[in-house]
Amino acid sequence: MSRFVFQQPFLASGLSLDRAGAWADDRVFYTVELVLLAAALLLVRAVHRSRTGRRWARCATTSPPPTPAA
């Protein structure tokens, strides 16, 4: 998919996406991606289990209170 997108001249004319330094090694890049994914999943889990996360879940599953009849 990324090759298709970046080969379109109107999307990426003259764009160069070379990784430099420590990021040039695919194994290091992949490892960093996995670590960031794991950190994001742990963050979502922590928020979900927190008081704020429980409140968000409760707000998403409950309907608004009925309005009193005039």
pLDDT for 6 equals: 61
The answer to whether 21 and 15 have CB atoms below 8 angstroms apart is no
**pTM for the model:** 0.54
pLDDT for 29 equals: 85
Mark residue 14 as left, alpha or beta (left: phi above 0; alpha: psi -120 to 50; beta: remaining): left
Amino acid at 64: P
3-state secondary structure of 36: helix
Nearest in space to 45 (alpha carbons), one of 61, 57, 32? 57
What's the pLDDT tens digit per position in 14-65? 666 677 787 778 888 899 999 999 999 999 999 989 998 888 888 877 776 7
Q: How many residues does the chain have?
A: 70
